[in-house]
Amino acid sequence: MSKSYHIDGTQEFGYSTHNRFLYSFYMYLNTVKIVCNLCDNYAPVNWLKGYVAHFCYLRLKSFDTFFKVVVEHKDYVSACSLLRMLGDSVAVFRLVYMEPDANLRILRHCLYILDGCKRSLEVLPEENINESALPDDELEDLNRQVKFNREHRERMMSEVQEMLDKSPLKNKDEAAFNKIVEDCNWKFKEFKNYKNVNVNQYRWWELYDMIGRSKHFDLFSFFSQYAHGLSMSNLNTTPSQRVFDGIIGEGVALLELMNQYLLKFFEAENYYIYEGLLIPQMRDKILKCFDDKHRPTIEEWNRHLQLILSNIKR
């Protein structure tokens, strides 16, 4: 192509850091919007496509919040905390939903949900909360919500167990299957039996390596200082624009990874996803992210997308 722009945003085309984020955000927004519509925004745990679409929709909202925290509030501490959460989410998606083996993918998915539900139930009280500091009507609402949350997680665990009972991996190696399920070990390295979970479980820094975000130093451990409210969170500093540009850049990297993974997961739906970039409302938002010198015309943008669509099976 004659101009230095590209549909996946990997080539430099003269934009500000903010516009680079917005470009990647709108590309991801289009992907999420299409797959959520195709899945009717339905996210049961036993339907992977629906669950993944909803997973990515929630991340979309968090990316939007992250950008507003930086641009509107200049809140470095909260921005770093959000980046840590988003980095974890991208790493989870890479391990669980990019798993090439379909049966192992379902197993990781089930255990990821099971682990989350069990941890949640450990902190949700089984009996009614008796908090004298709350008015009776607020206390009643709170207890109803706790009851609903417990029942919701218990229902999810029941659905997950049904999926696990049907897994062909149980017949492949029952001892390995039972041990991995017992430990809720969705981060397992290999499908094998073991005694100590630590010898067969990825650590978080290894998951960050998988997504290419810990090549030079443990970036997300740095962000965790703010997520956990350690002393760095209390320093009275005003980060420069260059520092804010840096964390926006990290957000861009995570956004582009999420979009790549989502496009790969929904490969059969790619035609409809790219077709969405032709819709004027979405197309015009993206084109505004280019500077005047490098912005393609509507005709050039449409022509390039039509070329992509011609190479994708509908």
Exposure on the CB side of residue 306, measured as CA atoms within 13 A: 6
Residue 222: predicted pLDDT = 75
Residue 136: predicted pLDDT = 82
Q: Which residues have CB under 8 Å from 122's CB, separation 6+? A: none
Which ranges of the chain would DSSP assign to H, the alpha helix? 17-38, 48-71, 76-97, 102-123, 136-165, 169-172, 174-182, 204-210, 219-227, 241-265, 270-275, 280-287, 298-310
- Specify the pTM: 0.90
User: Can you tell me the mean pLDDT for 5-21?
Assistant: 61
pLDDT tens string 114-155: 999 999 999 998 877 777 777 888 888 988 999 999 999 999
| Whole-angstrom distance, CA of residue 244 vs CA of residue 70 | 7
pLDDT tens string 255-279: 999 999 999 999 999 999 999 999 9
Residue 291: predicted pLDDT = 83
244: pLDDT confidence band, cut at 50, 70 and 90? confident
User: What CA–CA distances, in Å, run from 236 to 55, 77, 82, 233?
Assistant: 35, 11, 20, 9
pLDDT tens string 61-98: 999 999 999 999 999 889 989 999 999 999 999 999 99
Take residue 69 and report the two structure tokens written for it: 């925290």
Largest CA distance in the chain: 70
Residue 245: predicted pLDDT = 86
Residue 272 near residue 105 (C-beta atoms within 8 A):
no
Exposure on the CB side of residue 36, measured as CA atoms within 13 A: 14
In this predicted structure, the answer to whether residue 2 has a pLDDT above a threshold of 50 is no
Residue 132: predicted pLDDT = 75
